[in-house]
């Protein structure tokens, strides 16, 4: 006697394979769109790795911006647990973002040069979503909107991000509402300007950390922000090392200063008083 297996979905454990149109997975993930966005400009097989890795970075930038905007909004509403959840998620996402350097981190100059000319004037500093990340960290610069004047929607989003308080601005405003002596010069500063360290803010964080039992929730907030700052610093240093290996001290694509610019960025601390305050606890 022959045995005919149950058809998928007909009383068996097999998944449903028959759909009238595209699969529900495709409808949700848009995988067909994602996997056909790659348009290499050279015949070198290594270019696809560079292109896909860069696109993956852009997706992580998008998620991290979402998390930090969520955290900033939660702090504005005095919802610390919600802010902490978003910051903790962003830490895991930053770890995944930083791992994106692995496929590129050991490129030799010859391997990178095989397709570097295909990049033309394209450079990572032109990434609008990465710029929004930097703005949320307090690294504001109106000049960084200039490359996006030809893209009205992107330019408008960056202009909005430039004018809004950063994640750190919202954290300091929250501390002030908790009765801590954050100076008015910090609270009332123009949010479109780059954040500059304040001795008074350093003293506020030092006081919080000096009495962790009394300030348990604020210490958790400080540590969550410090985790973010550490991973951003690691991102910048991994970028620097990968660039050094691939192209040395040559001028970067798009006319950027390349390694010299990255070295300057790598020395900067994110949320600076959270680091310097530790010397006074």
Task: Quote the tokens at residue 137.
Answer: 């960290």
Tracing tokens 């504001």 back to the chain, one arrives at 140
182 within 8 A of 172, measured Cβ to Cβ: yes
Is position 239 annotated in a ligand binding site? yes
Query: Which pairs from 228-231 meet CB under 8 Å and 24+ separation?
Result: 228/68, 228/87, 228/90, 228/91, 228/94, 228/270, 228/271, 229/269, 229/270, 229/271, 229/274, 229/275, 231/91, 231/94, 231/95, 231/98
Question: Quick one: DSSP state of residue 161?
Answer: H
Task: Quote the tokens at residue 253.
Answer: 């694509």
Is position 253 annotated in a ligand binding site? yes
Continuous H helices in 100-215: 109-116, 128-136, 152-163, 167-177, 184-187, 199-210
Cα 146 from Cα 139, distance rounded (Å): 16
Phi, psi of 121 (to 5 degrees): -95, 10
The residue among 59, 94, 50, 72 whose CA lies nearest residue 253 is 50
Binding-site residue set: 116, 239, 253
Binding-site residue set for heme: 239
Binding-site residue set for substrate: 116, 253
């Amino acid at each position: 006697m022959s045995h005919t297996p149950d058809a998928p979905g007909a009383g068996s454990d097999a998944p449903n394979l028959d759909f009238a149109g595209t699969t529900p997975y495709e409808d949700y993930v848009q995988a067909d769109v994602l996997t056909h966005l790659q348009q290499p400009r050279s015949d070198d097989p290594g270019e696809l790795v560079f292109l896909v890795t860069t696109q993956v970075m852009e997706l992580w930038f998008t998620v991290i911006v979402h998390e930090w905007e969520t955290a900033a909004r939660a702090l504005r509403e005095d919802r610390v647990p919600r802010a902490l959840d978003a910051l903790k998620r962003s830490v895991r996402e930053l770890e995944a973002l930083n791992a994106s350097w692995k496929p590129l981190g050991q490129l030799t100059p010859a391997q990178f040069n095989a397709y570097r000319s295909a990049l033309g004037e394209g450079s990572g500093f032109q990434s609008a979503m990465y710029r929004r990340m930097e703005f949320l960290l307090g690294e504001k610069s109106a000049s960084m909107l200039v490359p996006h004047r030809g893209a009205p929607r992107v330019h408008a989003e960056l202009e909005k991000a430039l004018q809004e308080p950063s994640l750190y601005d919202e954290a300091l405003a929250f501390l002030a509402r908790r009765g801590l002596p954050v100076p008015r010069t910090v609270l009332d500063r123009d949010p479109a300007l780059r954040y500059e360290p304040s001795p008074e803010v350093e003293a506020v964080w030092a006081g919080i950390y000096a009495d962790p039992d009394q300030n348990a929730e604020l210490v958790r907030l400080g540590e969550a922000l410090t985790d973010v700052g550490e991973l951003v610093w690691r991102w910048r240093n991994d970028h620097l090392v990968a660039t050094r290996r691939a192209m040395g001290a040559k001028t970067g694509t798009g006319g950027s200063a390349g390694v010299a610019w990255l070295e300057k960025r790598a020395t900067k601390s994110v949320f600076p008083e959270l680091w310097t305050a530790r010397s006074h606890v």
